[in-house]
Amino acid sequence: MSFRAGVVAVIGRPNVGKSTLVNAIVGQKVSIVSSKPQTTRRRAMGIATTPDWQIAFVDTPGVHRPKHRLGKALNDAAKQAVRDVDVLLVVVDASKPPSPEDRSLALMLQDTGALVPERTVLCLNKMDLLKAHDVQRHFDEYVALFPAGANMMTSVTKKRNLDLLLGLLVERLPEGEALFEADAFTDQTLRAMAAEIVREKAINATRQEVPHALATYVEQWDEDDTIAHIAVVLLVERDGQKSILIGTKGSVLKQIGTEARLEMEELIGKKVFLELFVKVRDDWRESPRILNELEYM
């Protein structure tokens, strides 16, 4: 068989397992993951390569009903990501029936012309949570909603049927040379990945009202052969959110910093001196200037 290579856009509503799926196939952490919806905010590419094929996965923000300018920007980013790709991988939560957000996603894909059956694969994820009496009904409803050339039920967390899903994707890739070097696993910069690592740790350490109002960015990065000095800003909208992030006597911020530093050291391959700063900007999610600076728009 000739070598195959191409770009696969991964799309679905929030919290259906898109980022976990990409990370599992790539074998490296490309996108941060959390149980909180709308964790993925930027288009993140994860690259998987074997002697026979290469797939560049484009992990997209979850499509949802936006409540602010940031939400609209995330939906726009998802729409843009499905254009001019070789294969569209639609991921749904098969343990539940289609939601209004699933139906909105289907309409968006149809309106953009991205939902072409012969180059679309439907991944019905979370099969381990699907009750037996719901299997046929949920399957039929999703297949009707997202007409695809192939479909596969999976459990990404238990790594069930991922090899079969991969086979469906590979056979739809065009024949051709690799798009990236064989050892590449993402197109993201270390700075962007470091900021996202901090955001992931902060999301998982705080209560429900903080994650959606939180952004992170690297303010300073200096390194030599042995150590990297990195300063990351955690941006929130309210003083109360800042207090939650800092915690009693700085306990929460310290936990975030410790967990993030350890993961950064593994990523960068050297010691990291990490400083975290929490800043408040009222309603930053509605500010075009700040959204542009954060590269969300």
Residues 112, 220, single domain; the answer is no
If asked whether residues 14 and 47 sit together in one domain, one would say yes
Distance CA 171, CA 158 (A): 24
Q: How confident is the model at residue 294, as a pLDDT?
A: 82
Paired with 119 in beta bridges are: none
Under-70 pLDDT residues of the chain:
1, 32, 34-43, 61-68, 70-81, 208-209, 211, 297
User: What domain count does the chain have?
Assistant: 2
Same domain assignment for residues 120 and 35: yes
User: Minimal CA–CA distance to 102: which of 81, 122, 73, 84?
Assistant: 122
Regarding whether 164 and 20 lie in a shared domain, the answer is: yes
* pLDDT score recorded for residue 30: 85
Domain boundary among 126, 141, 170: 170
Which of 111, 135, 170 terminates a domain? The answer is: 170
Which whole-number Å values give the CA distances from 171 to 6, 49, 154, 174, in the listed order? 11, 15, 18, 8
Q: Is 74 helix (H, G, I), strand (E, B) or coil?
A: helix
Write the CATH number for 272.
Answer: 3.30.300.20
Instruction: Dump pLDDT digits (tens) for 173-194.
Output: 999 999 999 999 988 889 999 9
Quote the pLDDT of residue 67. 60
- Domain shared by 27 and 110, yes or no: yes
Q: At what angle do helices 162-170 and 18-26 cross, to 10 degrees?
A: 80
Judgement on whether residues 139 and 219 belong to the same structural domain of the protein: no
Residue 226, Cα to own-chain centre: how many angstroms? 31
What is the domain range of residue 269?
190-293
**What pLDDT was estimated at residue 210?**
73
Return the pLDDT at 40.
56
Residues 145 and 196 in one domain: no
Tell me whether residue 176 is in a domain: no
Q: Can you give the pLDDT at residue 238? A: 92
pLDDT in the model for residue 83: 73
Claim to verify: residue 44 and residue 14 sit in the same structural domain: yes
pLDDT tens for each residue of 231-261: 999 999 999 999 999 999 999 999 999 999 9
Q: Which residues, including other chains, have CB under 8 Å from residue 110's CB and lie 6 or more apart?
A: none
Other CB atoms within 10 Å distance of the CB of residue 203: 21
What phi and psi values does residue 190 have, to the nearest 5 degrees?
Answer: -65, -35
Rg from Cα positions in the chain: 20
CATH number for the domain spanning 65: value is 3.40.50.300
| Co-location of 145 and 217 in the same domain | no
Q: 78 near 11, Cβ under 8 Å? A: yes
Residue 175 lies in a domain: no
Contact 49, 5 (CB under 8 A): no
Q: Are residues 135 and 255 in the same domain?
A: no
87 HSE (CA, 13 A, CB side): 30
> Does one domain contain both 94 and 155?
yes
pTM of the model: 0.82
| 76 and 222 share one domain | no
